[in-house]
Amino acid sequence: MRGVVAAALAVSAAVLVPGAASADAHPRPPKVTKGPCQYTATPDDPAARPVPLPPDPRHTPDRGRVRVDLPTSQGQIGLTLDRAKAPCTVQSFLHLTEHHFYDFTTCHRLTAYPTLKVLQCGDPSGTGEKGPGYKYKDELPTDLPDYPGDTTGTRKLYARGLLAMANAGPDTNGSQFFLVYGDSRLLPNYTVFGSVDQRGLSTLDKVAAGGIVPTADDPAPVDGAPVKTTKILRPRVAC
């Protein structure tokens, strides 16, 4: 499973075709944009929904904030994206929003651990294993406070209201993101690129209060699909 708890991606075995050895021996390198963000196509992990690589100008916009309205089946969520914190991430998120990548997608994962409380979204397949067909570098936070009581100094506080990218390891950002509805303890391995407004937090609290879908193996899970199905409708860039 891709996300806050990373997992391996499945890779299909190659089928050898007679006469194609030379092509297999010299595969074409993946497409990479030429700007500073270097969005890189992932042909082994194709897009869940067709979308081009994001624009990558010589200077990535790195000032100001952008408002995104994220209406869901459970209520409105307002996001404020911070270009200064993560310019490449904001640029990608806006690109995906404007290309309707997130339209009518289901938030597939809710966690309710004492130290991890997030709702994860952004995969049109609804499985938590797919993305936009490209990846890009981390823009990791350097200003997060230590998690209260952590004596190692390695676990940081991802506070209620933060908006951050999920990933499957270093520099594997794509389309999946998570919304923090309760203070969470994490290594600082996840790019923070904005915040959730008060109305959005009320929506998240409603989803969290509904709990997680039980399974035969776990009648009271703390990680899984939310009981209150949360479908992103038609997000839009407000300003």
pLDDT at 17 exceeding the cut of 70: no
Rounded-to-integer distance, Cα 209 and Cα 197, Å = 18
- pTM of the prediction? 0.89
Rounded-to-integer distance, Cα 189 and Cα 187, Å = 5
Task: Identify the pLDDT of residue 19.
Answer: 38
Residue reference for tokens 């021996």: 25
Average pLDDT over residues 53-68: 97
User: pLDDT class for 7, splitting at 50, 70, 90?
Assistant: very low
Average pLDDT over residues 121-147: 97
**Does residue 86 contact residue 192 with C-beta atoms inside 8 Å?**
yes
Task: Identify the pLDDT of residue 6.
Answer: 43
Task: Identify the pLDDT of residue 230.
Answer: 98
**222-234 burial: b if 16+ Cβ within 10 Å, else e:** ebbbbebbbebee
User: pLDDT class for 26, splitting at 50, 70, 90?
Assistant: low
DSSP-assigned beta bridge partners for residue 71: 76
In the chain, the number of structural domains is: 1
pLDDT at 221 exceeding the cut of 50: yes
Compute, in degrees rounded to 10, the torsion defined by CA atoms 37, 45, 132, 204: -110
User: pLDDT class for 4, splitting at 50, 70, 90?
Assistant: low
pLDDT at 107 exceeding the cut of 50: yes
Rounded-to-integer distance, Cα 228 and Cα 133, Å = 28
Domain that holds residue 34: 29-237
CATH number at residue 163: 2.40.100.10
User: pLDDT class for 27, splitting at 50, 70, 90?
Assistant: confident
pLDDT at 90 exceeding the cut of 90: yes
Question: Does residue 53 belong to any structural domain of this protein?
Answer: yes
Question: Does residue 22 belong to any structural domain of this protein?
Answer: no
Task: Identify the pLDDT of residue 12.
Answer: 31
Give the model confidence (pLDDT) of 195-216 as tens digits.
999 999 999 999 999 999 999 9
H or E element in which residue 121 lies: strand 117-121
Question: Does residue 2 belong to any structural domain of this protein?
Answer: no
Question: Does residue 8 belong to any structural domain of this protein?
Answer: no
Task: Identify the pLDDT of residue 92.
Answer: 98
Question: Does residue 3 belong to any structural domain of this protein?
Answer: no
Question: Does residue 64 belong to any structural domain of this protein?
Answer: yes
Average pLDDT over residues 79-93: 98
Question: Does residue 11 belong to any structural domain of this protein?
Answer: no
pLDDT at 186 exceeding the cut of 70: yes
Q: 3-class SS at 203? A: helix
Residue type, 220: A
Mean pLDDT of the chain: 91
Question: Does residue 149 belong to any structural domain of this protein?
Answer: yes
Task: Identify the pLDDT of residue 48.
Answer: 96
